[in-house]
Chains A and B, each alone.
Chain A
Amino acid sequence: MATITKPALPQLSSSQASRSTRHTRWRRSNKWAYLFIAAPMTEFLIFSVYMIFSTLRMSVVRTAYSGPEPFVGLANYQSVLTDSGFWHSLQITLTYTVVTVLGGIFIALTVSELIMRFGTRTQTFFKASYYLPAVVSAVVVSMVWIWLFQQWYGLLNYLLGLVSLGPVPWLSHPDSALRSLMLMSLAGGHGGSIVFITAAMGGVPTTLYDAAKVDGAGEWTRFWRVTLPLLRPTLVYLFIMGVIGSFQVFTTIYLMTPGGGPLQSTQTIGYLIYTTAFVRTNFDLAATQSILLAVVILTFSVIQYRVLSVDIEY
């Protein structure tokens, strides 16, 4: 009988075997994933954690170009909180936020509901069309709107002129400047919200609509009783992100109404912080305003989350 002998496997030395085992274990343990998050973690530590603590420190000292920076306790907070300009800016920011966030979500919801009535291809076309402005920088959008609002040559006043109205000093009068900026915000920039809402609408089980129909629910009732409750988590997210974004609005204000607009009528908190730091060189007060802005945003976010967020089970 022929004897079949197995080919001899190469023998690993004990150290080689140990290294190989360690390597395999390491690869399988997913520990290498920490390497990938090390870079963003480092960035987070330096540009977020360090910056937050640095801003906190600046808010309790009197900053100086050189020399000691004396601890002043809560004096900067007292100074900011007793400054009528801060409250004026907060009021403008709140007005802007309420109008643009609520109005923006209402528009996005309405447009999404209309889009969802079409077939898949048409839906994609509309979603892409609405999202397109989101890829254009705020600077470009602002420059376009500056020309639309231009008092003598702008399209809006031209159109008003056709019906014997205007001209409206859109950006140069304190009564109209903020409204013009809010109008600009409401007229575009809903692409992201529409994508989120239509995606959520697509996830609503059709059986729920069928059941509602069987129960005699009309179109409005189905939207109000089925669609809207199931969109709630998405809407909460959009509300919170919208409020945070609106509280921080800066680019359009800076470009379209330099100096915070006529009679500071468009001076939002974000713009106030910029001017306090980089025009008036009060870095300590600017840091204090930043901390207070963070507190305001946090408060609003928590309230929104508590009020709007519910677990919905169907």
Chain B
Amino acid sequence: MEGKRRLTRRSFFRGSGVLAAGAALAACGATATPQAVQETVATGVTVAVETVVAVASPAAQSPVTVSWWTPPLWALGVGGNTPDAPPDAWVKDAVARYQESHPGVTIDAQVIPWGEWNQKVLTSFATQSWPNLVYRGLTTGDTTAAGNMALNVDAGIVAPIDDIITGEDKEDIGKADWDLCAYKGQIWSWPLFTDPSILVINKSIFQEKGVEDLLPKEPERKWTYEDFLTAAKAVTYSTSGGSEPDVYGLGLSGDSQFYFSMGYMLLAYGGKKYSKDGLKVLFDDPLTIEYLEFMKALQDEHKVMVPNLPPGNDVKQYFYDKKVAMRMWWCGIASEIESGLATGKIQGPFELMFLGSPNQPDVPYRRHAGANELTLMQTPDPGTLRASGDFLRFLTDTENSKAWKQGGFFPTRKSAGQGLFDDPNFVWVTDNLLPLEDCYWDDQAGGMNPKAANALADAKIDDMVQNVWQLVMLGKATPEEALGNAAAEANAALEVALSAG
């Protein structure tokens, strides 16, 4: 009798084997799960329409928990003026304020570090374990952010928010920002804030060289590529009087170039990336080629640009150390410089000036911004969806939108942005840059064909663009060769994807 109960090594491993087989079967059988989820998601779509109607009620009737994932966007705390504030300070405050006025609703907020953000969000999408509200920024989809929106909508994982948007909201936030969130005639995201690309100038270098008058004039601060080249030449010099410069007019890196050179500066030059419908890559457009030839000449012929495309962190350091007078970046640099000056990491004088990209005379002057959004995700529970929509409205009201006055962000709500800033650079962005037409999504608008977006992602379009930039600037190919090859490869991938039915 006892022999039967003995746990022998063989029986132990047999048991383990059964468990392993079970695990394997569970893994192989997981294909059934998405189908089940699809059913619940489908239910969620129906519910979403309900949500929108019922969202006017202040709070859900029964206790409900809303999960909200955000990166550490509010870096300066509750008042927007505490440099060492915990990354979740503003979030905790907002959650406490909301929960106080909405008994029965619990907000489970998670502030996820940037380093983990992409991985965590994309994994949650892939494993059908997404939160109720999620920040959607440029990081969730590189080149094909707009396309990802389309793909996510088509996959049924996000909920439409049309019915929680009032006419007042539509007026208060620019059409370009709403258009970014639109797909198939519905709105799928709330534009929270914008962080436009800008050319950041260390005005002190210009002042030291006595060439401040080469910078664009107030109030519009517009300039051409010719003006830009003249200014860059004037601030490229050797501090020791040698023949080789150790201060350069312009610093651009080999990474992040899509947003900060191939994007804004290329479009302001008149170049193109894609056709309006996103179905054709236009890298081989003559003006795109000419733009890269111009950039190459900045480095090799005029020698006003730091050679060999240093890493982004190096360019940042050179700018802090006054080795670079101009770089393409975003307004968040103001608080970095301020903090650096206060702690002595950056030596003064260091006066910042924000500018737009230089423009070719016949190209309209535009901004390069896009928006960063908050997305309501599908859930089968109507109460949760309703409460999530209500919390989304709370986070995006005028008062809470004013909290974007930190870290270099600008609220998309005009009512929140009016008179919010007193720094002349931020006032210039608010009054002169933001009202301009946005060129960021000009060639890949929210309605981009999801198949094309997917094909471009599969064809590693971002790597292609980055390769083109590096091939040309590192002297491995001519602009015509690099752009021509990239366009041919990308268009071949697009053709295959679009002809697949």
Interface on A for B, CB 8 Å cutoff?
A: 31, 34, 41, 45-46, 49-50, 53-54, 56-57, 61, 63-69, 71, 85, 146, 150-153, 169, 171-174, 258-259, 262-264, 277-283
Contact A280 B460 (CB under 8 A): yes
B174-182, B260-268, B337-345, B469-477: which lies at the interface: B469-477
Contact B156 A54 (CB under 8 A): no
Q: Which residues of B contact A146 (CB under 8 A)?
A: 313
Q: Which residues of A contact B374 (CB under 8 A)?
A: none
Measured CB to CB, the nearest residue on chain A to B155 is A65
- Extra inter-chain contacts (13) besides given A45-B20, A56-B28, A65-B157, CB under 8 Å: A49-B20, A49-B24, A57-B28, A66-B41, A67-B38, A172-B309, A172-B311, A174-B474, A258-B255, A281-B122, A281-B126, A281-B457, A282-B458
Contact B457 A45 (CB under 8 A): no
Q: Does B114 contact A (CB under 8 A)?
A: no
Q: Does B488 contact A (CB under 8 A)?
A: no
Candidates A41, A173, A282; contact of B474 at CB < 8 Å: A173
- A sample of 24 cross-chain residue pairs with beta-carbon separation below 8 angstroms, ordered by A number, consists of A34-B12, A53-B27, A56-B28, A63-B126, A65-B126, A65-B152, A65-B157, A66-B38, A66-B41, A66-B128, A68-B34, A69-B34, A151-B308, A152-B314, A153-B317, A171-B311, A258-B311, A259-B254, A263-B470, A263-B474, A264-B463, A277-B122, A280-B458, A282-B458
Contact A283 B126 (CB under 8 A): yes
A57 vs B119: C-alpha distance in the bound complex, in angstroms?
21
Q: Does B333 contact A (CB under 8 A)?
A: no
Of B12, B27, B152, B317, most A-chain CB atoms within 10 Å = B27
Closest 4 CB pairs of A and B: A53-B27, A54-B27, A50-B23, A53-B24
Measured CB to CB, the nearest residue on chain A to B28 is A57
Q: Which residues of A contact B128 (CB under 8 A)?
A: 65-66
Q: Which residues of B contact A61 (CB under 8 A)?
A: 31
Query: Given A65-B152, A152-B318, A262-B470, A173–B476 Cβ distance below 8 Å?
Result: no
Measured CB to CB, the nearest residue on chain B to A55 is B27
Query: Given A50-B26, A67-B34, A264-B467, A85–B156 Cβ distance below 8 Å?
Result: no
Q: Which residues of B contact A150 (CB under 8 A)?
A: 314
Interface on B for A, CB 8 Å cutoff?
A: 6-7, 12, 16, 19-20, 23-24, 26-28, 30-31, 34-35, 37-38, 41, 118-119, 122-123, 125-126, 128, 142, 148, 151-152, 155-157, 254-255, 308-314, 317-318, 323, 457-458, 460, 463, 466-467, 470-471, 474, 476
A97 to chain B, nearest CB (A): 23
Query: Given A61-B31, A64-B34, A262–B125 Cβ distance below 8 Å?
Result: no
Candidates B28, B31, B122; contact of A278 at CB < 8 Å: B122
Contact A151 B470 (CB under 8 A): no
B398 to chain A, nearest CB (A): 34
Candidates B28, B126, B255; contact of A259 at CB < 8 Å: B255
A258 vs B89: C-alpha distance in the bound complex, in angstroms?
30
Q: Which residues of A contact B317 (CB under 8 A)?
A: 153
Contact A54 B30 (CB under 8 A): yes
Query: Given A50-B24, A53-B23, A61-B31, A67–B323 Cβ distance below 8 Å?
Result: no
A288 to chain B, nearest CB (A): 13
A205 to chain B, nearest CB (A): 36
B151 to chain A, nearest CB (A): 8
A151 vs B314: C-alpha distance in the bound complex, in angstroms?
8
A63 vs B33: C-alpha distance in the bound complex, in angstroms?
12
Q: Which residues of B contact A279 (CB under 8 A)?
A: 118, 142
Q: Which residues of B contact A172 (CB under 8 A)?
A: 254, 308-311, 314
Measured CB to CB, the nearest residue on chain A to B29 is A57
Q: Which residues of B contact A153 (CB under 8 A)?
A: 317
Measured CB to CB, the nearest residue on chain B to A256 is B311
Contact B152 A31 (CB under 8 A): no
Q: Which residues of B contact A64 (CB under 8 A)?
A: 34, 155
Q: Which residues of A contact B24 (CB under 8 A)?
A: 49-50, 53
Contact A57 B30 (CB under 8 A): yes
Q: Which residues of B contact A152 (CB under 8 A)?
A: 314, 318, 323
Measured CB to CB, the nearest residue on chain A to B467 is A263
Of B35, B142, B148, B310, most A-chain CB atoms within 10 Å = B310
Contact B31 A45 (CB under 8 A): no
A172 vs B337: C-alpha distance in the bound complex, in angstroms?
25
Q: Which residues of B contact A66 (CB under 8 A)?
A: 34, 37-38, 41, 128, 155-157
A46 vs B313: C-alpha distance in the bound complex, in angstroms?
40
A64 vs B157: C-alpha distance in the bound complex, in angstroms?
11
A149 to chain B, nearest CB (A): 10
Q: Which residues of A contact B313 (CB under 8 A)?
A: 146
B15 to chain A, nearest CB (A): 10
A54 vs B313: C-alpha distance in the bound complex, in angstroms?
38
Contact B254 A262 (CB under 8 A): yes
A228 to chain B, nearest CB (A): 39
A69 vs B317: C-alpha distance in the bound complex, in angstroms?
47
A66 vs B119: C-alpha distance in the bound complex, in angstroms?
18
A137 to chain B, nearest CB (A): 15
A145 vs B323: C-alpha distance in the bound complex, in angstroms?
22
Candidates A50, A173, A264; contact of B27 at CB < 8 Å: A50
A54 vs B467: C-alpha distance in the bound complex, in angstroms?
34
